[in-house]
Amino acid sequence: MAETIPSFIKVRNGRVITPFRVIPNGCVIIKDRTIIEVSEGDPETPGAVTIDAGGKYISPGFIDIHVHGGGGADFMDNTVEAFLTVAETHARFGTTALFPTTLTGSTEDIVKTLETYNEAYPKNNSGAQFMGMHLEGPYLAMSQRGAQDPRYIRDPDPKEYEYILSKSGSIKRWSAAPELKGAIPFARYVKSKGILVALAHTDAIYEEVIEAYENGYTLATHLYSAMSGVTRRNARRYAGVVESAFLIDEMDVEIIADGVHLPAPLLQLICKIKGCDKIALITDAIRAAAMPPGESVIGNIHTGIKVIVEDGVSKLPDRSSFAGSVATADRLVRTMTQMAGISLPDAVRMITHTPATIMDIADRKGSLAAGKDADIIIFDENITVHATMVHGKIIYQNDSRL
């Protein structure tokens, strides 16, 4: 890896996933950190540094819009080192852009994490790019808390959220339960700041979800996990958030495609109903991602909740609930192709172009096309990542011949 970034680069001899098609023998040409050409064959590029993909796949970098940690660090640790560790860890598995995600916490904890984001941002030279913060909670339904710490779960309070928003310009997404008292004015306010509002950890029924949708909640956070399905009240059946997300065509959904949270038939059902343009694959990874199994902590290393990692997933110690995942992005693509039988371009699209569109960064990210940032990865048949390039700079490679 060169210390200075060459300004003119050709990545050649690969199967280019744009992700709208696969170019069997293609190349991507980069100038000044930006893609200038995607084409078939191997055009002459005098003066360019050449990277030979050796017949492997050349793909847009993965975009993870919901991730808490990895490599032994959690964003809620509130240190610059933790932020950089998570970014570098996920870059090894193909993530080139991510949205650091918080858990429920005190106002001070949340504001501190936002401040740490600002400190870490300019120091992140060798990890997945930070694209802005995702606040998950603290305005969640107690009955659907999952692994969120119940001590900090509360209803939206304008004094609090206006204060939090006044402290940071980096919040890009906020996940909340729409049925809570004050959750509709909350969404209107947050949306007015240009922030995506998502439905999360919620027991809402359809009537509440449609009102929520009309007021800014346009994405369902980890579909099926910590949310209502069909319920019965006094013998009557009610559609829950899952059915509502299916019924409202415009609603985007994200799924933890680690192969554990959702079995193959549900992954297939979601793809069948929503289509790959409305689905983002997410890791929802905690600090235990890319670490050996055993005990871990979700959230802040000192004050977080103890969890146990076994069978490729994180669980509460009584094993009553999953507690985030230990997935990395490569595993999500592997799950969708190998377990759910989804085509590779569609699987890649769900973790590149679709999340970029949902987060409104598709003008720069999420596809290989002229004018886009040179966020490019090289992986093999088994979705093992061999090289990761962020903005034209190789930040990870496992093959010295590249």
Q: Which residues bind Zn ion (CB under 5 A)?
A: 136, 284
User: Computed from CA positions of residues 122, 124, 129, 133, in that sequence, does the dihedral angle turn out positive or negative?
Assistant: negative
Q: Which of residues 11 and 245 has its CB atom nearest to Zn ion in the complex?
A: 245
377: left (phi over 0), alpha (psi -120 to 50) or beta: beta
Kindly tell me which of 58 and 282 has the beta carbon lying closer to Zn ion. Answer: 282
**Residues 6+ away with beta carbon under 8 Å from 167:** 111, 114, 115
* Of residues 99 and 246, the one with the C-beta less far from Zn ion: 99
Q: How far is the CB of 219 from Zn ion (least distance, A)?
A: 13
Between 173 and 372, whose beta carbon lies closer to Zn ion? 173
8 A C-beta contact, residue 293 and residue 363 = no
Q: Return the number of the residue (136 or 375) whose C-beta is nearest Zn ion.
A: 136
Residue 24 CB, nearest approach to Zn ion (Å): 38
Note whether 394 and 53 are within 8 A (CB): no
Q: Closest separation between CB of residue 64 and Zn ion, Å?
A: 11
Tell me the HSE value of 198 on the side-chain side, using a 13 A CA sphere.
29
Contact of 97 with 124, CB cutoff 8 Å: no
Residue nearest to Zn ion (CB): 284
CB 24 within 8 A of CB 53: no
Query: Among residues 149 and 284, whose Cβ is nearest to Zn ion?
Result: 284
Which residue, 12 or 145, is less far from Zn ion as judged by CB?
145
DSSP H or E segment with residue 97? strand 95-100
CB atoms within 10 A of CB 20: 12
Q: How far lies 129's CA from each of 66, 90, 125, 186, 188, in Å? A: 14, 10, 8, 28, 29
Smallest separation, CB 122 to Zn ion (Å): 26
Tell me the backbone φ, ψ of residue 130, rounded to 5 degrees: -85, 125
Shortest Å, Cβ 226 to Zn ion: 9
Q: How far apart are CA 22 and CA 399, in angstroms?
A: 23
**How far apart are CB 281 and Zn ion at their closest, in Å?**
14
* Minimum CB distance to Zn ion, residue 276 (Å): 22
